Amino acid sequence: MNERKGTSVDKSPNKLSLSEAASAIAAGSLSSEELVQSCIDQIEARENTVKAWAFFDPEVALAQARDRDKAQPNGPLHGVPIGIKDIIDTMDMPTEYNSPIYKNHMPSVDAACVARLRQAGAIIMGKTVTTEFASSYPGPTRNPINTAHTPGGSSQGSAAAVADFMVQGALGTQTGGSVIRPNAYCGTVGYKPAYNTYDKVGVKPLAPIMDTVGLMVRTISDVGILSSALSGLEPEKLITENAPNLLFHRTDQWDAAEDYIQTLIEDCAKTFSSAGAQVRDHTFIPPYDNLQAAQRIVMAVEACREFKEEWMNHQDLLSKPFQNLMLRGFETTPEERGEAEGLLKYARGNLSEIFEDGEILLTPGAPGEAPKGIGSTGSSIFNRAWTFLGVACLYLPVTSGPNGLPIGIQLVDPHNNEARLLSAGVWCAKKLGLDTVI
């Protein structure tokens, strides 16, 4: 595979990966203030173009960095700047959900995941742009690789900020495809863990049965460090020498993928097989072949439950797409709702009937390069089934498509073993020559 366009060997502080920056600060070769100032310089140079931030105050960021530099490193993220999607509460920064209803809203406490980051020593750099309530109505963020294109959604600012070297990592959320798709479009490493891996208290819910906090970073090593800080679990040792057992899962939506995405996934499957991995074709059996439609029903129904107050008192301030989402929920019949919610419960509880332990799925993360324009965030057609099932997904940028924008692969572990998924990711990255994402 060709090296992804835009990969840089420049190691100015803001271009260090999260793991590199954490190691440098721990070793005393870099201060948090130096790192944060480098990120601030990048933000000030590029923010007017990329528009990744809903709230950013350089003095707030620098004050945190100076405090970290006065203390001994006592956490894995000590002094490292992280962006926070603006549906996640922060006690010292506004949380507005990209909605005029919540203009200047100041939460009284941090979300649990933000509190975890602070305990691990992270710098909360600012709030990244989200679509309205993490749904489909986009914010102003542009793809930093080509600003004529969307960065994806709903975690658009998080992916753009990491891709443009404004911050070492960022939090996003996924209810459909809102972590994996923006990582795919912006060319960053993405991780959507198993459902409820990280505490969601203080995260504005859209569809709580599927909402999942996820990660935007630059390397697989970054995933391990950031995930450990959020989960409170010690990171497991990765075993990267063993070839994974891969299922080539085209999904029932394979025809929605561009020809070059199909070719990329097929070529990767051949590369992995030649390198010693077991690779076999896989398709869903009924009732798993209808997950996409069921996901949309559950999302709409749950949105109606969560946004009753906004609908009743501020309907005129909701975007037309969000109003349409609510109407779909209201119009869903009890039979449709029961069938979709029943499928979710059944599917999550019976994955072992179609997947053997140790199997990792190889599948697209997005149907193509980031679409042109920012009026839409693109299609989540290759993400919704995995969010519905609540399983762990890892996205790896591999190369560039015909328009020079990033494309890559998605690995899915239906048994939610993080160490095994990350190990498979490292193995696959090595075989593809993607040293910069390891």
Cα 220 to the chain's mean position, in Å? 13
Catalytic-labelled residue, pool 19, 51, 85, 192: 85
| Residue 167 · residue 81 · CB < 8 Å | yes
- How many whole angstroms from its chain centre is CA 245? 24
The residue from 19, 158, 178, 319 that is catalytic is 178
Q: Rounded CA gap, 188 and 330, in Å?
A: 37
* Number of Cα atoms under 13 Å in the Cβ half of residue 345: 6
> Which structure tokens are listed for 167?
């911050």
CB of 227 within 8 A of CB of 192? no
Whether 85 sits among the annotated catalytic residues: the reply is yes
Buried-exposed string 228-260: b where 16+ CB fall within 10 A, e elsewhere = bbbbeeebeebebeebbbbbbbbbbbbeebbeb
192 is catalytic: no
Give catalytic status of residue 8 as yes or no.
no
Out of 32, 154, 228, 423, the active site residue is 154
Residue 116: alpha-carbon gap to chain centroid: 18
Strands of the 406-413 sheet, one edge to the other: 53-55, 123-128, 81-85, 169-174, 212-217, 189-192, 392-400, 406-413, 359-363, 245-249, 278-282
With b for 16 or more beta-carbon neighbours within 10 A and e for fewer, the 66-77 pattern comes to: eebbeeebebbb
Taking the CA atoms of 8, 14, 19 and 21 in sequence, report the sign of the dihedral they define: positive
Catalytic residues: 85, 154, 178
